Amino acid sequence: MSTSSISLSLMAALMLSAGLLLGCSEKPAESAAAVADSATTTAPQSGKPETALPALIDTQATAETRALYRNLAKLRYKHLLFGHEDSLAYGVHWEGDMDRSDVRDVTGANPAVYGWELGGLELGHTANLDAVNFEKMQHWIKAGYSRGGVITISWHVFNPVSGGNSWDKTPAVHELIPGGARHATLKAYLDTFVAFNEGLADVDAQGNKHYPPIIFRPWHEHNGDWFWWGKGHASEQDYIALWRFTVHYLRDEKKLRNLIYAYSPDRSRIDMANFEAGYLYGYPGDAYVDIIGLDNYWDVGHEANTASADEQKAALTASLKQLVQIARSKGKIAALTETGNNRLTIDNFWTERLLGPISADADASEIAYVMVWRNANLAREKSEQFFAPFPGQATADDFKRFYQSEVVLFEDELPPLYR
């Protein structure tokens, strides 16, 4: 590790410690804006100005989409954006409010990154598999974008062969890719996303349409065996063909210019002793990916992980360090695209089990954002599933300390990301 990397690690640790000691103190308002407004980016691994920022795979992407990617690339060296799935749609103890979030109820601020899910859109449903109405979702996406937030979308596509949900393991990928018997079905499914995206457009006074940039994360966790497009139900070659066709169809044929494509294997199926090889299983190629993502619930207290807390923290740091190194070698941005501890059963989860391991290494701390999963509505779903705190929840105070960290950015602290 270089001297500059060691210095950055020490600085990150000191910043984290200072943030915890300050408690309710405010963080400097100018720090994030100063990073985003700088003309060049300083790469900690070299200490030298980095003038060539990563470029999107869509060379004709909208100006706003290019700006978002560029600004995330700049911010990643000093800041981490926090995200939450379905944050505006419902909370553990509320549903139906059009301007509310469990995250904001606790901290006074919305998440910087809004995660949304399209499962069921492909079948013409009016709501997704978590009962979020698609028209309302479009409203929430536009609202979050109008405030400067970041939008990311995943898609638990129903199985086109069996008619079951994403967890129905009936093989289907081989029939969907070019040359397959159900290739037209894949196109029809993707067309529903094209129509959904069209519903996000705003028209200016000159009649020009403007679309919110979207970090699009299809066919995720493919190295696991729980989805029909996953390992064991589709060959690696067929999965790659599925991903590449998805990009070609949306970008080149349908001309969607507001998408940033995120690739996200699952950590639990990657051997830490051979991380890169495991991570790149099914990788479609640098020309088809913008964000090198990782879904990691395993190292943050997953109930099936019997490793000690210290071992899990070390593994989280190591996985993110190697993730960033892969992203750097490919000229991409890295992100922790899904994570969280269900029901938040760990004391000081936010500062000690999440932010601590991220900040412990100069490379690991270069991830652009971290997103935790949803807070299921208890009355409707009759089960406890939540990944962000709500008022009175045991980790709420620690979550406030997480919010107050100089490293972490919520929506109210974001610099302009779209210019």
Domain assignment present for residue 239? The answer is: yes
Q: How far apart are CA 148 and CA 165, in angstroms?
A: 33
User: From CA 295, how far away is CA 308, in angstroms rounded?
Assistant: 20
> How many domains are there within the chain?
1
Catalytic residue (choose from 122, 338, 406, 413): 338
Torsions phi, psi of 291, nearest 5?
Answer: -120, 125
Looking up residue 119, the CATH number of its domain turns out to be: 3.20.20.80
Active site residue 381: no
Among residues 85, 47, 104, the alpha carbon closest in space to that of 217 is found at 85
Amino acid 41: pLDDT = 52
Please, how many CA atoms are within 13 Å of residue 284, restricted to the half-sphere of its CB?
27
Per-residue pLDDT of the chain (419 residues; tens, 9 = 90+): 433 333 334 344 434 443 433 333 344 444 576 666 554 555 554 444 444 789 999 999 999 999 999 999 999 999 999 999 999 999 999 999 999 999 999 999 999 999 999 999 999 999 999 999 999 999 999 999 999 999 999 999 999 999 999 999 999 999 999 999 999 999 999 999 999 999 999 999 999 999 999 999 999 999 999 999 999 999 999 999 999 999 999 999 999 999 999 999 999 999 999 999 999 999 999 999 999 999 999 999 999 999 999 999 999 999 999 999 999 999 999 999 999 999 999 999 999 999 999 999 999 999 999 999 999 999 999 999 999 999 999 999 999 999 999 999 999 999 999 99
Q: 411 catalytic, yes or no?
A: no
Helix (H, G, I), strand (E, B) or coil at 139: helix
Asked if residues 329 and 321 have their Cβ atoms less than 8 Å apart, the reply is no
The per-residue b/e assignment along 398-416, b for 16 or more CB within 10 angstroms, e otherwise, is bbbbbbbbbbbbbbbbbbe
Enter the tokens of residue 299: 């190292």
Tokens 């490793």 correspond to 307
Question: Beta partners for 291?
Answer: 262, 333
Q: Residue 16 domain-assigned? A: no
Q: Could you read off the pLDDT of 189-232 as tens digits, one per residue?
A: 999 999 999 999 999 999 999 999 999 999 999 999 999 999 99
Q: Is residue 333 part of a domain?
A: yes
Q: What is the pLDDT of residue 322?
A: 98
Determine, yes or no, domain membership for 29: no
Query: At what angle are helices 236-247 and 183-198 packed, to 10 degrees?
Result: 40
12, 359 in Cβ contact below 8 A? yes
Tens of pLDDT, residue by residue over 351-397, are: 999 999 999 999 999 999 999 999 999 999 999 999 999 999 999 99
Task: Find where tokens 């690696």 sit.
Answer: 236
Q: Give the whole-angstrom CA distance, residue 331 versus residue 54.
A: 5
| Chain centre to alpha carbon of residue 155 | 13
In a domain, 116, yes or no: yes
In a domain, 170, yes or no: yes
Q: What is the pLDDT of residue 4?
A: 36
Within a 10 A sphere around the Cβ of 55, how many other Cβ atoms?
Answer: 15
Q: What pLDDT, on a 0 to 100 scale, did the predictor assign at position 53?
A: 87
The dihedral formed by the CA atoms of 43, 45, 46 and 48, expressed in degrees to the nearest 10: 10
Helix (H, G, I), strand (E, B) or coil at 82: strand
List the end-to-end C-alpha distance of the chain, in Å, as a whole number.
34
Domain assignment of residue 200, given as a range: 63-413
In a domain, 164, yes or no: yes
Beta bridge partners of 371: 83
The active-site residue, picked from 64, 221, 366, 406, is 221
What span, in angstroms and rounded, lies between the C-alpha atoms of 265 and 295?
6
Residue with tokens 């409203």: 139
| Residue 205 to residue 67: CA distance in whole angstroms | 22
Question: Which residues are 333's β-sheet partners?
Answer: 291
Give the global pTM. Answer: 0.91
Q: What are phi and psi of 71, to 5 degrees?
A: -70, -35
C-alpha neighbours within 13 Å on the C-beta side of residue 376 = 13
Question: For position 366, what pLDDT does the model report?
Answer: 98
* Residue 155 maps to a domain: yes
DSSP bridge pairs for 234 = 231
